[in-house]
């Protein structure tokens, strides 16, 4: 009857998913990630042909594989960034369980590929590194536990997340993979701090880390060798750090020229862990500065958008994802210039590696999902209303 008098209410057409995603996603961060991937392909063209020649493969074999895995990573990024926070949380918790079991099974079914650390599953046509996928999924799982612990009558989420962190760090240290262990610990510590942990507990945690670092130095020859090499005032020119240091010095401000670099012929990991040395030698400080700026834009813009977020789970998860993304890049570049001990860590979206680039795509995709613009009031509005 009402419709006969006033007319039927017009149906609201739902906005297409792709259109809504493009309207709400952080386009600056997305553009920076695409540029990082492009830089990775550019540097792969310079760094990987010598390795392909040594292995008797086609000159651009590794570049083609990097493009393939990079495409998968970008697809994973877009799909993850289109999801809502609830769906991201549910899928991440399930994925975390799978990745945790895969990490625990590495000592029995994994391989070291002659590198002295059992970190991979060999699948014949490719390898899989569970720790790369575990990092972003661990952040989501811990953020969920911490946020649930803040609710009235909620579980002791911080205690559960602490137990998970200890278990994962222990498994990574036994591989040994101290770089990934430190990254997991750092990501958890950042979320714990943002979640309101007392400063005293954070200082106590730092003391525990120093204690176990000392124990690892005395018990692990692998760990002690890397620390000694880092602290030594002289750099052996025939080591990876020596080659990288010399390449950065030779590159100067403008670089020696495209294709003119020599470090790629000496470094076995020039296309992965030391890709920044190739960039510094051939393109100079200009490209290195541009790469650093791209990572900074992603991290800073994400943090700024998360500061306005009211949902504690989204704040914690987004902060943890942004922290491990930025710190992984900082560690990789810091190793190349001898600011940090050698860690064996890739540069996200730039270094060659299937597990690395796909996992980075998943992690940044979830970060973009959390920083999308949503129809809600900002945290400042909530605080002002409480003051009134």
pLDDT 10s digits, 71-102: 999 999 999 999 999 999 999 999 999 999 99
State the pLDDT confidence band at 14, using cuts at 50, 70 and 90: low
Q: Provide DSSP, 211-247.
A: HHHHHHHHH-HHHHHHHHHHH-SS--TTSHHHHHHHH
Is the per-residue pLDDT at 136 higher than 80? yes
Amino acid 376: pLDDT: 58
Residues 6+ apart with CB under 8 A from 344: 117, 177, 179, 273
* 120: nearest Cα among 272, 228, 266: 272
* Terminal Cα-to-Cα distance of the chain (whole angstroms): 45
Instruction: Return the higher-pLDDT residue of 354 and 221.
Output: 354
Residue range 103-129: mean pLDDT, rounded: 85
pLDDT in tens, 340-375: 877 778 899 999 888 999 999 999 999 999 999 877
Amino acid 237: pLDDT: 67
Amino acid 374: pLDDT: 75
Is residue 255 within 8 A of residue 221, CB to CB? The reply is: no
State the pLDDT confidence band at 222, using cuts at 50, 70 and 90: low
8-state DSSP, 265: G
Query: What percentage of the chain has pLDDT greater than the value 70?
Result: 91
State the pLDDT confidence band at 178, using cuts at 50, 70 and 90: confident
Is residue 128 within 8 A of residue 116, CB to CB? The reply is: no
Amino acid 13: pLDDT: 53
Is the per-residue pLDDT at 132 higher than 80? yes
Residues 6+ apart with CB under 8 A from 362: 73, 76, 77, 80, 133, 136
pLDDT in tens, 138-166: 999 999 999 998 888 888 888 999 999 99
Q: Provide DSSP, 27-51.
A: HHHHHHHHHHHHHHHHHHHHHHHHH
pLDDT in tens, 307-316: 988 899 999 9
Is residue 359 within 8 A of residue 132, CB to CB? The reply is: yes
Q: pTM higher than 0.75 for the full model? A: yes
Amino acid 382: pLDDT: 47
Locate tokens 């880390």: which residue? Answer: 209
Nearest-angstrom CA–CA distance, 258 and 252:
14
């Amino acid at each position: 009857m009402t419709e006969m008098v006033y007319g039927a209410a017009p149906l609201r057409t739902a906005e297409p998913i792709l259109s809504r995603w493009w309207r709400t996603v952080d386009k600056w961060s997305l553009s920076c990630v695409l540029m990082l991937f492009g830089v990775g392909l550019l540097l792969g063209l310079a760094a990987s042909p010598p390795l392909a020649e040594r292995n008797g493969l086609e000159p651009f074999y590794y570049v083609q594989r990097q493009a393939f895995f990079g495409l998968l990573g970008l697809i994973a990024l877009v799909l993850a960034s289109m999801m809502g926070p609830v769906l991201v949380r549910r899928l991440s918790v399930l994925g975390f369980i799978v990745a945790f079991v895969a990490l625990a099974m590495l000592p029995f079914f994994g391989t070291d590929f002659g590198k002295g650390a059992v970190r991979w599953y060999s699948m014949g046509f490719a390898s899989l590194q569970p720790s790369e996928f575990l990092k972003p999924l661990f952040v989501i799982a811990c953020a969920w536990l911490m946020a649930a612990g803040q609710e009235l009558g909620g579980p002791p989420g911080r205690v559960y997340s602490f137990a998970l962190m200890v278990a994962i760090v222990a498994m990574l240290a036994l591989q040994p993979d101290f770089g990934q262990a430190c990254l997991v610990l750092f990501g958890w510590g950042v979320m714990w701090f943002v979640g309101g942990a007392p400063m005293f507990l954070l200082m106590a945690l730092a003391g525990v880390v120093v204690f176990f670092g000392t124990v690892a130095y005395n018990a692990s020859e692998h760990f002690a060798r890397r620390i000694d090499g880092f602290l030594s005032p002289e750099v052996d020119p025939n080591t990876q750090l020596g080659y990288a240091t010399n390449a950065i010095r030779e590159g100067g401000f403008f670089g020696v020229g495209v294709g003119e670099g020599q470090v790629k012929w000496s470094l076995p990991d020039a296309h992965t862990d030391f890709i920044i040395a190739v960039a510094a030698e051939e393109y100079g400080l200009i490209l290195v500065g541009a790469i650093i700026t791209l990572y900074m834009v992603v991290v800073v813009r994400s943090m700024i958008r998360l500061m306005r977020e009211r949902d504690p789970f989204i704040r914690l998860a987004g902060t943890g994802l942004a922290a491990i993304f930025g710190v992984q890049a900082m560690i990789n570049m810091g190793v190349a210039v001898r600011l940090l001990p050698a860690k064996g860590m890739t540069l996200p979206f730039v270094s060659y590696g299937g597990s690395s680039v796909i996992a980075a795509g998943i992690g940044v995709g979830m970060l973009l999902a959390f920083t999308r613009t949503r129809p809600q009031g900002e945290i400042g509005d909530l605080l002002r209303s409480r003051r009134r």
